[in-house]
Each structure stands twice: as structure tokens, then as C-alpha cells.
Amino acid sequence: MKKRNSYLNQVQNRVLKVYKEVSPSFRKLVSKKDFKENLEQRVNILRALGLPEQVFNGKMVLEVGGGTGENSIFYSMWGADVTIADPNNISLQRAAKLYKNNNLKVKLINKNLFDLKMSFIKKFDIVICEGVVQHTATPSAALELLLKSVKAGCIFMIALSEKNGFYKRTLQRKFIKSISKNNDEIITNSYKFFKNHLKRASKYGLRSEISIIYDTYINPQVKAISLKNICNMFFKNNFYYLSSYPSINDNFQVSPWSQKKIDPFNYNAHKNRYKMIEKLWRVSGNFNKEKIFFSGKYSLINAYLDKVDKKLTKLNDNINKKNLKNIDLSLIQDGYLGIGMNYFVAVKK
Ligand SMILES: C[S@@+](CC[C@H](N)C(=O)[O-])C[C@H]1O[C@@H](n2cnc3c(N)ncnc32)[C@H](O)[C@@H]1O
């Protein structure tokens, strides 16, 4: 037990060292334009997950790993009583300032999620954790701890790196690390090879390019978990599924609503369908350019996914072998590069 704790602490200290240098969550939130852009971003993801703003009114909300507070400030504006827990005291100071400047109240807890007591987490009606567990020593244990701790009826929302969705970014990380000796080289090489991606991610994610470089490439810990593992944990811990983005819903389900449905968190029951979804996530990145996705012809789409998947496997092999001469990086340079974060919303039964 002692050994595991020291490993957890070691990973956290290494991650926090990077985060204290450059904040991973900081977004400018001063002008009306900043507020409008950030509000739009928050509302878009919540609506994609079927959560209207009024869900937050009068609720006790906990954001685990809430960092500098740019997400949760909107929950406060919509009438929630917000608490942010984060081990980075510098981020929390910035969150305190942000809330104060906007005449809003927030409770700030300077703690690692593994140190939060179950009795504390049980106080909350809504628990949110975005972009956090993949940066812990044991992402599955972090997710499991939260799933075990929330009270019955709690709405739980998680955003995390899923192995297939994050595959292209994992290849980017592997490539950058294989050619860089230190952080300065990581920064130079990130701009050199992934300029378009940084530009795009900054435009849509509202974070600076350097913040993305620190969070994605310099960060010592980005550990994705599989969809199977995620589903199994929700299933085992007695949650009912509300939504996900990208969706894992069964689009072919037409039986009457009153007829019993197979739980979406029952991975094995949906295995064949989920294998297809996983491939789609792995390969995705520039489908808007691909006419094939509008053809509606599933055999063609499947053949296309297989073809790109094979190219990715080859790229992975070449990065592993440091066979840099034969590397075709275009698959991990352009477009939206898979799924940066997969969202799941569920309610504890
Ligand atoms: C990528 S940022 C995401 C911040 C915010 N949730 C968002 O979506 O903008 C990751 C956050 O996780 C926090 N974090 C890292 N390890 C953590 C841990 N073990 N427990 C709780 N938070 C942690 C970091 O301090 C940082 O604020």
C-alpha cells in the first residue's frame, strides 16, 4: 500500500511540476468576447450531452481537478453552489481571483482526488471531472474511486482520454518524445511537426498553443483507458447511462421504448458494435473531407476505416523502430486527430 502511494505521489509531483510552469486549463476570461466564447463552448458540450443549463440551478456541484475555474464559473452563474478540488494551489489562486472579479462564491479545496473522503464526495448532486484521470498514476483507480464515492441520484460527468480516440495523439507524443532530448526540443519539434494541429486545437479549445504543448507533449503522464474498461466500471458501480460524446448510442434501436433495453454500459452485450465505434474513433480526424461518409454505404465505410487503420498501425511500427525516413506523418498532422476527450454522463442508481 505504502509503495503504491509513493508511486501515486511521484506521478502527481511530476505532473504538477509541469502544470505549475504552464497552466493546462487557463483561458482568458476578461472581456465580453472571452465570456461569450467560453460560454458557447460550455453550453455546446453540455447540450451535446443532453444537459441543459437549468440542471445546475440550486445544485451542489463538485468539480474534481477544476484547475483555474473557467468551466465551473458558468455553473455558478446558472445558480449552482460550486466546489473545486485541485492539487495545484497556483491554479486555485487564479480560480479564486476569477470568481471574486465576477462577484461569485466558490469553495476551493487544495487536494488530490485520491485524498478526497467518500463522505465529502457524497454531499454533491453533480460531480464533474474533465481532463484529469489520464494524468494520474492509475486512471482506472481514479475513475473507480469517484464512481464508488458519489451518492445515489448524483449526476456524474467525466471527460477522459479513451485509448482508441486518443490513439493519434498517443502516436504524436511517441514521435515527439523519440526525436526530442529535452523540453526545449519538444517545444521546437511540436511547432515544427504539429503546427496545424496546435493552431486548430487552440482555436477550438480556447487555450494557448504553449499550454497545449505542455499539457499534451511535455506532460509526463497521459494514460488513456479503453472503452471496455470505462463501461465495465460504470456497469459494476451501478450507474444508468444518460449520454456520451461521441455517442455510443445504438442508432438501430427501434423497438418500443417500453421494451427493456440492454444497458449501454454492458460492453460485452454490445461488443461487435463497439468494436466498430472504436475503429471509427481511432481512425477519425478528417472525415469532413471524405465523401465516403455521406454515401451511407456501410461496406465502403468499413473498408475505408480498415485501410486507414492499417496505415496507422504501420506508422506506429515505424515510430517504434525509429524508422524515421519512411515515416508519413500526414495522418497525425491534419484534421481534428481522433477524440481529444471522450465524455460520459451517468446517474448513480
Ligand atoms: C488538463 S487540466 C483540466 C482542467 C479542467 N478540468 C478543464 O477541463 O479545463 C488537468 C487538471 O487536473 C488536475 N489534476 C492533476 N492530477 C490530479 C489529481 N491527482 N487529482 C485531482 N486533480 C488533478 C490538474 O491540476 C489540472 O488542473
pLDDT digits (tens, 9 = 90+) for 25-80: 788 899 999 999 999 999 999 999 999 999 999 999 999 999 999 999 999 999 99
Closest alpha carbon to 106 in 155, 68, 147, 55: 68
Atom of ligand 1 at shortest range from CA of 159: 8
Domains annotated for the chain, with CATH where assigned, are 2-164+219-243+340-348 (3.40.50.150)
Q: Quote the ligand 1 centre to 136 CA distance (angstroms).
A: 9
pLDDT the model gives residue 2: 54
Residue 342 CA to residue 161 CA, distance in Å, equals 6
Residue located nearest, by CA, to atom 3 of ligand 1:
131
Collect the ranges in the chain with pLDDT lower than 70.
Answer: 1-4, 288-289
Is 135 near ligand 1, meaning CB less than 6 Å away?
A: yes
65, 86 in Cβ contact below 8 A?
Answer: yes
Atom of ligand 1 at shortest range from CA of 67: 27
Sign of CA dihedral 334, 221, 125, 38: negative
pLDDT the model gives residue 22: 87
Which of 11, 18, 25, 223 maximizes ligand 1 atoms within 8 Å of its Cβ, making it the mutation to test the pocket?
25
Q: Quote the ligand 1 centre to 67 CA distance (angstroms).
A: 6
49, 157 in Cβ contact below 8 A?
Answer: yes
pLDDT the model gives residue 289: 65
Q: What would the pLDDT profile of 264-308 be if each residue is shown by its tens digit?
A: 999 999 999 999 999 999 999 977 667 888 888 889 889 999 999
Is 83 near ligand 1, meaning CB less than 6 Å away?
A: no
Q: What is the largest CA-CA distance in the chain?
A: 59
Average pLDDT, the chain: 94
Is 169 near ligand 1, meaning CB less than 6 Å away?
A: no
Residue located nearest, by CA, to atom 24 of ligand 1:
65
* pTM for the predicted model, two decimal places: 0.95
Q: Quote the ligand 1 centre to 69 CA distance (angstroms).
A: 11
Sign of CA dihedral 259, 252, 165, 336: negative
Q: Which set of grid coordinates corresponds to residue 170?
A: 498517443
